[in-house]
Amino acid sequence: MRILFNKINVKRSKRALAALLCLGLISCAQGNSTPLQKACVTGSGQEALYNGHWLVHPVPLAVQTGDFSAGELNTIVASIETWNSFFAASKGFKLYLNNGADLGMMGAGGTRATSATICSQREVGPSNFTSSLMIYKNTSNWTYGSSVMGLTSTCPVSSGGTFNSFSAAVMELNYVNFYRAGTPTPDLQSIVTHELGHLLGLNHSCVGSGCSGAPADYSAAIMFPTFSIGTQKRSLNTNDEGRANCLY
Ligand SMILES: [Zn+2]
């Protein structure tokens, strides 16, 4: 069973981009983190596969108190550290605010944005973030497709530059169809690392028919649109790195 990438464009006052990581049974090559790519490199056919970027960083991330187990929090932090280590080596800064155990906590019970509502809030000002970006478990109302393991929604605003700027974003993880009794348990670190690539502005390494016969480094990228349960894909490859360098 191969599940294709889905992308939802939500028409609201602003356009929200929702990028989904889907379940597939095709085999995914392990990402390759060497050699470090420090240049901006966009591969053939990837020119439009950027959703936007943050004009301000570091980007603060937070979960709601009590939502994730200690083990899950460690996993999320490890995914953050993958991107932070890359940006530190390539650009000399850490893109995400959070380091080590310093994942932000929000009070339990707060409003959880979805792809439909994310553009109704604004989380960044001209020089600083006014709110952390939330990562949360969706345990009861997953409307994006039962094979979709995670979904990151960003709200792009025209910035006058090469890329749109983001005004808000949210990451939802599918705990309706996964991670509960009787459901599959895909590698959470792989999924969160992929979703964090969306959160910083990358679309997939290829989309739709463009994935047929795509170069090997596109399918090896963390940003490849499908992921196989039972495998791990936790590292960035040079394609992920080259594209991320173009955004920051
Ligand atoms: Zn995705």
CATH number at residue 17: 3.40.390.10
- Domain membership flag for residue 165: yes
Domain that holds residue 165: 7-28+36-247
Does residue 42 contact residue 242 with C-beta atoms inside 8 Å?
yes
- Domain membership flag for residue 112: yes
Q: How many helices and strands, by DSSP H and E, does the chain display?
A: 4, 8
- Domain membership flag for residue 236: yes
7 Cα–ligand 1 center, Å: 8
- Domain membership flag for residue 2: no
Contacts of 13 (CB under 8 A, 6+ apart): 119, 120
- Domain membership flag for residue 42: yes
- 52: alpha, beta or left, given left = phi > 0 and alpha = psi -120 to 50? left
Contacts of 136 (CB under 8 A, 6+ apart): 63, 64, 67, 112, 170, 171, 172, 173
194 Cα–ligand 1 center, Å: 6
22 Cα–ligand 1 center, Å: 7
203 Cα–ligand 1 center, Å: 7
Cis omega (within 30 of 0) for bond into 58: yes
* Listed residues: CB within 5 A of ion ligand 1: 19, 21
- Domain membership flag for residue 1: no
62 Cα–ligand 1 center, Å: 20
> What are the pLDDT tens digits along the chain (248 aa)?
233 333 333 333 345 666 555 443 333 334 444 689 999 999 999 999 999 999 999 999 999 989 999 999 999 999 999 999 999 999 999 999 976 556 888 888 778 999 999 999 999 999 999 999 999 999 999 999 999 999 999 999 988 889 999 999 999 999 999 999 999 999 999 999 999 999 999 999 999 999 999 999 999 999 999 999 999 999 999 999 999 999 99
Cβ–Cβ contacts within 10 Å for residue 75, how many? Answer: 20
Q: How many domains does the chain have?
A: 1
Cα distance between residue 203 and residue 223, in whole Å: 7
